[in-house]
Structure 1
Amino acid sequence: MQNNDNKLSLTTRIVIGMLAGIAVGVLLKLAFPDNTLVDGYLTKGLFHVIGQIFIASLQMIVVPLVFVSLVVGTCSLSDPSKLGRLGGKAVGLYLITTAIAISFAIFAATLVQPGVGLELATDAVYEAKAAPSLAQVIIDLFPKNPFNAMADGNMLQIIVFALLFGIAMALVGPAGDRLKNMFEDFNTVIMKLVVILMNIAPYGVFALMAKLFTETEFDTIINLGQYFLLVFVVLILHGLVSYSIILKGMTGLSPRLFLRKMREVQIFGFSTSSSNATMPVTLETVTKRLGVHNRVGSFTVPLGATINMDGTAIMQGVATVFIAQVYLVDLSMADYLMVVLTATLASVGTAGVPGVGLIMLAMVLGQVGLPVEGIGLIIGVDRLLDMTRTAVNVTGDAMVSVIIAKSEGDLDVAVFNDPNADIAARDVESQLEQRRS
């Protein structure tokens, strides 16, 4: 039996774990509703413990991975002005894709009209947190204490410190060269740790899915079925169609091959609902399987995980129209344009703030005069949609990385076009790790 398992690729094993978790969760929900033993020993016991260990294991290496890989990439730049170009292109592309996403969502929602004729009552209350001003966001980019930034996981501050540190290394000569060799070795060890941790992914994904679907209230999804399906469909179309058109139009590369190589990352994003937790897998895929040079990927992937909000923007667009229809509020074309503008700028302005999706939605609703209490209508189904949003976001992070790398001459096209790039070597390592354990 062990030999058969070893023949399965990591992606296949993760898919099996995800589907098995969903099946177990649904069966437990249907067979043992409100059962204290199932809830205490499985849902909040075994499934919760395994799932949280899996998430913690991924989060454990995010900060060292981002810092080390970004330092290595920055100090290897021969042209300092290239860093400015990378930043401008990355932020610009992320904002453009976010604007496209929310425009698409608003168009679909006004066409389908998911909230027309719907009367919903909810006991859920949402208290909007105050979003920081743009000036404060800019100030907060620069860490007063980089070690506190690393301890808090403040990704934008870590990125800024890593960039400054890498530039300083490149400017000091021999001392920087010696330090660069150490960081390169450190980066190799961290990437090896990523491979090791990915071996527990099928079990972690199984536990996360089993817990989620054991706790999911299907009645809520049925009541909000039209809203749920519309957001889900728009997310899938944006992730498959919009990204494919942008990638093909700007690089000429194969969208089908890109999406095929992104399946593992998408499954991780879907399971964890966190772009940050998925970042180690995203960065490994971008650099090893898509052919993006580390000096580009180490910058664009962490930045995208922090400010790329395409999936969240889609939810905001549909939710805004949905809440307006439920409350019988007619939005003008100017209101829709304000929604697009606010959500696009807020994707940067609220970066790093806990609960960013709902904070951004509260900001959008306030801009067009809709009651923030309307967020309570959609909270019940937001967890499942959040998983799909994350899968879309990490796909966008990788797509932008490929486009920028191609424009800068830092994309190995042969690696991108190789369907099996890095798979064989990684699966051999995975099997060896399993045998050792």
Structure 2
Amino acid sequence: MEKHTEKNGIFGWYFKTNLLVRILTGLILGAAVGIVLGGFFPDAVKPFVDKTKFFGDLFIRLLKMIVVPVILFSLIAGAASIEPSRLGRVGVKVMVYYLFTSALAVAIGLAFANLIDPGAGFNVIGDAAVKGRVAEAPSISQILLNIIPTNPIESLTKGDVLPIIFFAVVFGISLSYVKTSSNHDLARIGGILLDAVNAAAETMYKMVKGIMQYAPIGVFVLIAQVFAQQGPRAIGPLLTVTLAVYLGLLLQVGLVYGGFLSMFKLGLIRFLKGANEAMVTAFVTRSSSGTLPVTLRCAEENLGVPRTVSSFTLPLGATINMDGTAIYLGVCAMFIGNAIGLPLSFNQQILVILTATLASIGTAGVPGAGAIMLLMVLESVGLKVTEGSAVAAAYAMILGIDALLDMGRTCVNVTGDIAGSAIVSKSEGDLDLSKWS
């Protein structure tokens, strides 16, 4: 009944329209309004920015509100879902594969970003006095040491992303041992705690979904401000970001997945033919979790992955294997740094790889999750997304084209899940090779 009221109330037309269409409409209208204001009514730009600032800032604050709880609950739930009894050879192999390919994916994204240099010389304007000041980059050893929090509560309060990620993963793995304990009381308590964490994670996903209903308005306002202040030259950097992301995605499939498959004497072309239905479904739905039934069927029926393997590796992959998202994070973090005149240093790029790889463990396989991860990555390298700042304006530009980028990255996420399942099955001698002839 509530859903019916929402769809047919005074804003029924708004909620009936697909969110992707609404966000893209907000992007286009915002760009058009900004260009008209900047080109024909330059004196109206500052009053427009001042009067609409509240609506843009509101969107940024809503997103920042959910970052820490999303990290905490989703990572604990994701790590705790891995049963210790199943972390045998198959579990270890697929976990190593997922984490290694995710790290490679971020590196590929950063490589293309360094090569193409999206956002260089753009100089996004923000109202805040600070563009997003970056602290002195610590050494690599200090970066690794800083991952371990001395006080997890303090890290949560301050929003220190890497320590929160580390604590959540360790807590989740420990919880997985508690809930499978031979002690009945411990197992019962562990199960109750996991149920509570899962409920909290699902609640956060609902909040994300609700906040994204405001995204078209927030995107319209923020993009209009950017184009009013910067003019049509903002179009070029967005096209460059899209090009860099999709080139990285193609390289991940062809070089990384193709290379791993060839190491195990499996053909990339045959693999792509068997996986294409799941890849197309992922591209259209933009959801690894939503594509899972199709992914399972393609892996089993088309590529000969036994159910004993696929039923473990594919759901796990939909939770922790986000190679496409990792490429997106690398490119977009570099774009935002360049766009505000603070290019990422080598050490900061290492931080991006670490944060993106670790954060991928618990990122929800739902549309738009990558945009929340991008907030985490930016925070980890000192680019604070504060209301009115240049960082917030550059982030809004990415959010405007996020749906287009999300299609490609979700497709690659699912492709990596299937490739990992086939490789692990082959290494265990369980793969039906008749499907590959």
- TM-score, length basis structure 2: 0.58
Match of 2:26 in 1: 21
- After superposition, the C-alpha distances for 1:220-276 in whole angstroms (9 at most, x for unaligned) are 36447655533332223334x3355469745545356335425555xxxxxxxxxxx
The alignment yields a C-alpha RMSD, in angstroms, of 5.5
Match of 1:44 in 2: 53
| CA distance in structure 1 between the aligned counterparts of 2:71 and 2:124, rounded to whole angstroms | 41
Which amino acid letter does the alignment assign opposite residue 145 of structure 2?
I
Deviates more, 1:61-70 or 1:75-84: 75-84
Q: Equivalent residues in 2 for 1:407-418 (5 A)?
A: 407-408=423-424
| CA distance in structure 1 between the aligned counterparts of 2:134 and 2:49, rounded to whole angstroms | 34
- Segments of structure 2 that go 5 or more residues without pairing to the other structure are 262-270, 297-309, 340-344, 360-373, 384-389, 426-437
1:142 has 2:159 as partner: no
| CA distance in structure 1 between the aligned counterparts of 2:19 and 2:122, rounded to whole angstroms | 40
| CA distance in structure 2 between the aligned counterparts of 1:159 and 1:300, rounded to whole angstroms | 17
1:130 has 2:136 as partner: yes
| CA distance in structure 2 between the aligned counterparts of 1:205 and 1:120, rounded to whole angstroms | 24
- After superposition, the C-alpha distances for 1:370-418 in whole angstroms (9 at most, x for unaligned) are xxxxxxx999867524765874766665554554455456xxxxxxxxx
Judge conservation of contact 2:83–2:177 (CA < 8 Å) in 1: yes
Judge conservation of contact 2:222–2:393 (CA < 8 Å) in 1: no
Match of 2:243 in 1: 233
Judge conservation of contact 1:304–1:397 (CA < 8 Å) in 2: yes
| CA distance in structure 2 between the aligned counterparts of 1:264 and 1:146, rounded to whole angstroms | 36
Which amino acid letter does the alignment assign opposite residue 327 of structure 2?
D
Shift of 1:216: 1.1
Counterpart of 2:82 (choices 74, 85, 98) is: 74
Secondary structure, in 3 states, of the residue corresponding to 1:34? helix
Judge conservation of contact 2:325–2:413 (CA < 8 Å) in 1: yes
1:200 has 2:232 as partner: no
| CA distance in structure 2 between the aligned counterparts of 1:346 and 1:300, rounded to whole angstroms | 24
What fraction of aligned residue pairs are identical, expressed as a percent? 9
Match of 2:45 in 1: 34
1:96 has 2:104 as partner: yes
| CA distance in structure 2 between the aligned counterparts of 1:321 and 1:38, rounded to whole angstroms | 23
Judge conservation of contact 1:169–1:175 (CA < 8 Å) in 2: no
| CA distance in structure 1 between the aligned counterparts of 2:31 and 2:205, rounded to whole angstroms | 31
Change (3 A) 1:192 1:380: closer
Which amino acid letter does the alignment assign opposite residue 347 of structure 1?
V
| CA distance in structure 2 between the aligned counterparts of 1:70 and 1:147, rounded to whole angstroms | 19
Judge conservation of contact 1:15–1:202 (CA < 8 Å) in 2: no
Change (3 A) 1:288 1:12: farther
Secondary structure, in 3 states, of the residue corresponding to 1:95? helix
Q: Equivalent residues in 2 for 1:214-293 (5 A)?
A: 214-217=224-227, 220=230, 222-223=232-233, 228-239=238-249, 241-245=250-254, 249=258, 250=261, 252=272, 253-255=274-276, 257-258=278-279, 260-263=281-284, 265=286, 284-285=289-290, 290=295
- After superposition, the C-alpha distances for 1:326-367 in whole angstroms (9 at most, x for unaligned) are xxxxxxxxxxxxx9x9787443356689885699799xxxxx
- Segments of structure 1 that go 5 or more residues without pairing to the other structure are 266-281, 323-338, 363-376, 410-437
Change (3 A) 1:254 1:204: farther
Secondary structure, in 3 states, of the residue corresponding to 1:142? coil
Which amino acid letter does the alignment assign opposite residue 328 of structure 2?
G
| CA distance in structure 2 between the aligned counterparts of 1:78 and 1:4, rounded to whole angstroms | 43
Shift of 1:215: 1.5
| CA distance in structure 2 between the aligned counterparts of 1:380 and 1:37, rounded to whole angstroms | 15
Shift of 1:16: 2.7
Shift of 1:14: 1.0
- After superposition, the C-alpha distances for 1:160-208 in whole angstroms (9 at most, x for unaligned) are 2322332354355434432353245336634653664465355222122
| CA distance in structure 2 between the aligned counterparts of 1:360 and 1:222, rounded to whole angstroms | 29
Judge conservation of contact 1:231–1:314 (CA < 8 Å) in 2: yes
Judge conservation of contact 1:25–1:210 (CA < 8 Å) in 2: yes
Change (3 A) 1:402 1:177: farther
Shift of 1:284: 4.5
Which amino acid letter does the alignment assign opposite residue 137 of structure 2?
A
| CA distance in structure 2 between the aligned counterparts of 1:257 and 1:163, rounded to whole angstroms | 30
| CA distance in structure 2 between the aligned counterparts of 1:361 and 1:346, rounded to whole angstroms | 10
Secondary structure, in 3 states, of the residue corresponding to 1:216? helix
| CA distance in structure 2 between the aligned counterparts of 1:157 and 1:14, rounded to whole angstroms | 34
Which amino acid letter does the alignment assign opposite residue 20 of structure 2?
V
| CA distance in structure 1 between the aligned counterparts of 2:132 and 2:194, rounded to whole angstroms | 46
- After superposition, the C-alpha distances for 1:67-103 in whole angstroms (9 at most, x for unaligned) are 13321x1335433566644443233112222333344
Judge conservation of contact 1:134–1:349 (CA < 8 Å) in 2: no
| CA distance in structure 1 between the aligned counterparts of 2:139 and 2:111, rounded to whole angstroms | 24
Judge conservation of contact 1:97–1:310 (CA < 8 Å) in 2: yes
Counterpart of 1:182 (choices 189, 192, 197) is: 192
